[in-house]
Amino acid sequence: GQNIDQPTEMTATEGAIVQINCTYQTSGFNGLFWYQQHAGEAPTFLSYNVLDGLEEKGRFSSFLSRSKGYSYLLLKELQMKDSASYLCAVNQAGTALIFGKGTTLSVSS
């Protein structure tokens, strides 16, 4: 079967670093995406990994280990506006993505 697991909720304080984990079991793998979704808004693309290793983009980084079926999104220097849901999604093969249920991150001052 196919399964994508992420923690349901996380909390952190402004200025801190937070790591959101995602584990996946899928019949194929053609890349992993992270999306950010603020309450009441559409998901927006954050990052894409297809090879093992770390991809850095400003305050956000994403890591992938294909052998372990594992990824994480690292958010540094947290800001209040980072309070949102973070969605992990896997492309098994072909067109469609499989989404995890999302992790709701709350950042407090």
Partner 1 sequence: DVKVTQSSRYLVKRTGEKVFLECVQDMDHENMFWYRQDPGLGLRLIYFSYDVKMKEKGDIPEGYSVSREKKERFSLILESASTNQTSMYLCASSFGTSGSTDTQYFGPGTRLTVL
How many other C-beta atoms can be found within 10 angstroms of the C-beta atom of residue 79?
11
Query: With contact defined as beta carbons under 8 Å apart, do 33 and 85 qualify?
Result: no
Q: Which of 27, 67, 95, 109 binds partner 1 (CB under 8 A)?
A: 95
Element counts in the chain: helices (H) and strands (E): 0, 11
Q: Is 71 in the site for partner 1 (CB under 8 A)?
A: no
CB contact at 8 A, 58 and 11:
no
Q: Does the footprint of partner 1 cover residue 70 (CB under 8 A)?
A: no
**Closer CB to partner 1, 1 or 109, in the complex:** 1
99 binds partner 1 (CB under 8 A): yes
Binding-site member from 10, 12, 74, 97 for partner 1 (CB under 8 A): 97
Bridge-based pairing state of the strands 3-5 and 84-91 = unpaired
Q: Cβ contacts of residue 42 below 8 Å, gap of 6+?
A: none
- Please report how close the Cβ of residue 19 comes to partner 1 at its closest, in angstroms: 20
Q: Which residues within the stretch 11-30 sit at the binding site for partner 1 (CB under 8 A)? A: 30
Would you tell me which residues interact with partner 1 (CB under 8 A)? 30-31, 33, 41-45, 48, 50, 87, 89, 91, 94-102
